[in-house]
Amino acid sequence: MDWSDWAVWVALAAILVVLFLYIRLMLKNVRLKQLADEANRLRREAEATEQRNRQLKQEMTSNIAHELKTPVSSIRGYLEILLSDKPVDDDRRRYFLERCYRQTLRLSDLIQDVSIINKLEESSDLFPRTEVDARTVADEAVADLADKAAAAAITLHNNLPPMPMQGNHELLYCIFRNLLENSVSYAGEGVDIVIETYEPPKVNTQPPSHSATHYYLHFYDTGKGVADEYLSRLFDRFVRIDSGRSRQNGGTGLGLSIVKHSVLFHGGEIYAKNRPEGGLEFFFSLKKM
């Protein structure tokens, strides 16, 4: 092989090396572009999430201000009458004081509900998990609302079996209490309210033991239900199907939102629908451990 042949091979080798380096550089540039595109996508998603969170906080602040306005104005009006120079007889004085007291209870409930939601959204680790029986917690909520239910000829049925789990007592109580209060207040008189378990539908892709990790609960009333267009918004904050009646019954508009957040805290899901037989029903799950 003469010198010219070696020169050809060297030239070919050089071309291959250059081509290899060029391809490697192009692949690196493609990878860098992919990483840059991914970083931009994540940045846009973070900015969108941050914007959504700001919007939600602004909406919540506005809603809280709106909810505070009515009770504060009422208390102020009653106190101005009581503190005026005009004489007020004992019966009217007691009436005004009772109205003030009812409005302070409403303010207290609103502050408590807002505090729970804020903690769930921003510092859920502040809610400790302990050994708790969900059935026992449901019994507590049923007992606390027994008198209010009896006044409306409503019958409460807690058909849950013992349900030991790792959970937070306060949030479990919020689930059952708020669901019960919602039905007692709005389902109508003479209805039944039932808490029970149900078997989730079997899906071929799920292992046979998939239900071993969760409890599946069914809560329903035999009342009037709600309009279908409101079902998708039931768990939104400050949503009232009947705002006038909700305020009359002392609702804060946060109860079902707290229910959803509390179910999510316990590793479950929840959805609502109208019963074909009449009334509103909720299906939700709670993780055992």
pLDDT of residue 1: 52
Instruction: List all residues 6 or more positions away from 151 whose beta carbon is below 8 Å from its beta carbon.
Output: none
The three-class DSSP label of residue 252 is coil
Alpha-carbon distance of 36 to 26, in angstroms, equals 15
Per-residue confidence band for 4, with pLDDT thresholds at 50, 70 and 90: low
Q: What is the pLDDT of residue 84?
A: 87
Residue 249: its pLDDT value, please? 53
Whether 130 has a pLDDT exceeding 90, the answer reads yes
CA–CA gap between residue 169 and residue 133 (Å, rounded) = 9
Out of 43-47, 77-81, 260-264, least confident range: 43-47
pLDDT of residue 2: 55
Asked if residue 140 has pLDDT above 80, the reply is yes
State which H helix or E strand residue 150 sits in: helix 146-151
Average pLDDT over residues 184-199: 93
Looking at mean pLDDT, say which of 94-108, 166-180, 199-213 comes out highest. Answer: 166-180
Report how far residue 271's alpha carbon sits from residue 189's, in angstroms, rounded to the nearest whole number: 24
Residue 245 has pLDDT above 50, yes or no: no
Distance CA 130, CA 116 (A): 18
| pLDDT, tens digit (0-9, with 9 covering 90-100), for 17-57 | 878 787 888 888 878 888 888 888 888 887 877 777 677 67
Given this model, what pLDDT does residue 176 score? 97
pLDDT recorded at residue 212: 80
Q: Which domains does the chain have, with CATH numbers?
A: 1-126 (1.10.287.130), 129-287 (3.30.565.10)
199, amino acid identity: E
For residue 152, what are its two tokens? 């409306």
Percent with pLDDT over 90 in the chain: 43
Burial of 88 (0-12, 13-18, 19+ CB in 10 A): middle
